[in-house]
Amino acid sequence: MKHTDSVEIQQFYARHMHLLDGGAAEAWARTFTPDATFAAPSMTEPVRGREDIAAGARAAVGRRAADAEVHRHCVTMTTAQETGDGIEAVSYVQILATRRHGAPRLLLSCVMRDRLVRQDGELLVAQRRISRDDRPHG
Amino acid sequence: MKHTDSVEIQQFYARHMHLLDGGAAEAWARTFTPDATFAAPSMTEPVRGREDIAAGARAAVGRRAADAEVHRHCVTMTTAQETGDGIEAVSYVQILATRRHGAPRLLLSCVMRDRLVRQDGELLVAQRRISRDDRPHG
Amino acid sequence: MKHTDSVEIQQFYARHMHLLDGGAAEAWARTFTPDATFAAPSMTEPVRGREDIAAGARAAVGRRAADAEVHRHCVTMTTAQETGDGIEAVSYVQILATRRHGAPRLLLSCVMRDRLVRQDGELLVAQRRISRDDRPHG
């Protein structure tokens, strides 16, 4: 992994999570490829495509608004390596939740395994698999 | 944003927060421009200038000492872009507090919006605006 | 510190902590120099050498398995400078612990002071000193 790519991946995740936490579900979905897949333990099968990824994000944004909570996805400890098929990036993700007048709490600790690809010069997520530390076997 | 700038900004924040958490109020204030402004929800109006910024930090250092607490400001997920007027850097900040023999706790989750400028080759904060996740509307 | 070194140090810590948290005690120990020293408040004297470092990691991995806990070491806010004798890197470390079906909790907040050296082109830890925020005087 070239150092420039490593820095660009960090910048990508910062932008990506600011969009999600800021409630910009559609713009967030556009940081995935059109046919991206997204798999998480809470899903019975992976979500596929920007439309369904955006729908999932909109639902999460709605739940946060209903709960009057602010969420922050903090991506750290990213390792990345080129494969024949893009960049395999593995990161830790902490999700912090804060209610109005409340203390922040750690909602989830996850590992995020992404296959990133470059389209028209931009990094996009082609495949995401989330594992939750509280469900070590899925 | 060039990659080198992005790395330099990260290095800047690391040094900057080591100074604050280490109790070096004056050295910390010198990482702001002489006429910098600092606005946070806890302030009725922004603080202006290194002297007042240092005074605020000294007061915070004193409170931590009185509480026998160690604080850590963890800056993550920084996005940065050049504007005509410097670099607009937006970061998540977690503040952790630990008492002697106690477990660390998350004190605050904030968003830090900085305008960084370069003076004599060094990055400095010219303007800082903090928003707290527990006070979503200020 | 050159920017490329700064990025490489981050990549090193990501790989390093993925190994530790993933239970790869031997591979983790090989990211230290053969004669590395490791000092932490919980030790009466520093551990020396890869074999003893691996033994300590294996014991920690065993305790986590017995507790059915997943741990994550999140290294942030790293400052680094060249000395005549390697790179002095100072970082914040958050240790998160998550039990099956439980919420993550902050186990420890630490400062990690490493002397990193380059051997055969690779960064390795030659000396590590950990201080815990809950034991400010060791």
- Which of B75, B95, B133, B135 should one mutate to test binding to chain A, selecting the residue with the greatest count of A CBs within 10 A? B133
- For C88-108, the pLDDT digits (tens) are 999 999 999 999 999 999 999
Structure tokens at C133: 């925020």
Question: Does residue B36 lie within any of the structural domains?
Answer: yes
Q: Which of A17, A70, A103 sits opposite B106 (nearest CB)?
A: A103
For residue A99, list chain B residues with Cβ-Cβ distance below 8 A: 134
- For B24-58, the pLDDT digits (tens) are 999 999 999 999 999 998 888 999 999 999 999 99
Q: Is the pLDDT of residue A3 over 90?
A: no
Question: Does residue C137 lie within any of the structural domains?
Answer: no
Nearest residue in C to B15, CA atom: C79
State the nearest Cα–Cα gap between C58 and chain A, in angstroms: 19
For residue A96, list chain B residues with Cβ-Cβ distance below 8 A: 94, 106, 109, 133
Residue of higher predicted confidence among C134 and C137: C134
Q: What's the number of domains chain C is made of?
A: 1
> Which residues on adjacent β-strands are paired with residue C96?
C72, C106
Question: Does residue A96 lie within any of the structural domains?
Answer: yes
- For C108-121, the pLDDT digits (tens) are 999 999 999 999 99
Nearest residue in A to B6, CA atom: A7
Q: Which of A75, A96, A100 sits opposite B94 (nearest CB)?
A: A96
Beta strands C32-39 and C122-132, pairing class: parallel
Q: Provide φ and ψ at C31, rounded to 5°.
A: -90, 5
What's the rounded mean pLDDT across residues B96-124? 96
In C21-133, DSSP assigns E strands to 32-39, 47-48, 69-83, 86-99, 105-119, 122-132
Structure tokens at B121: 């080759």
Burial A9-27 (b: 16+ CB within 10 A, else e): bbbbbbbbbbbbbebbbeb
State the nearest Cα–Cα gap between C104 and chain A, in angstroms: 6
Q: What is the ipTM of this complex?
A: 0.94
First-last CA distance in chain A:
29
User: Nearest CA to C111 among B71, B91, B112?
Assistant: B71
Question: Does residue B98 lie within any of the structural domains?
Answer: yes
Say which DSSP state B85 is in: T
- For A31-89, the pLDDT digits (tens) are 999 999 999 988 889 999 999 999 999 999 999 999 999 999 999 999 999 999 999 99
What span, in angstroms and rounded, lies between the C-alpha atoms of A77 and C30? 19
What span, in angstroms and rounded, lies between the C-alpha atoms of A106 and C107? 12
Whether residue A133 and residue C103 make contact (CB cut-off 8 A), yes or no, is no
Q: Which of C6, C76, C109 sits opposite B98 (nearest CB)?
A: C109
Say which DSSP state B44 is in: S
pLDDT of the residue at A42: 81
What span, in angstroms and rounded, lies between the C-alpha atoms of C6 and B137? 37
Write the CA distances from B56 to A12, A121, B28, integer angstroms: 34, 45, 11
Question: Does residue B117 lie within any of the structural domains?
Answer: yes
Question: Does residue A101 lie within any of the structural domains?
Answer: yes
Question: Does residue C124 lie within any of the structural domains?
Answer: yes
For residue B98, list chain C residues with Cβ-Cβ distance below 8 A: 109, 133-134
Q: Is C15 helix (H, G, I), strand (E, B) or coil?
A: helix
Q: Which residues contact B126 (CB under 8 A, 6 or more apart)?
A: B32, B33, B35, B36, B37, B86, B115, B116, B117
CATH number, residue C100: 3.10.450.50
User: Nearest CA to C126 among C24, C13, C38?
Assistant: C38
pLDDT of the residue at C138: 59
Question: Does residue A39 lie within any of the structural domains?
Answer: yes
The dihedral through the CA atoms of A2, A7, A79, C76 has a sign that is positive
User: Domain residues for B25?
Assistant: 3-132
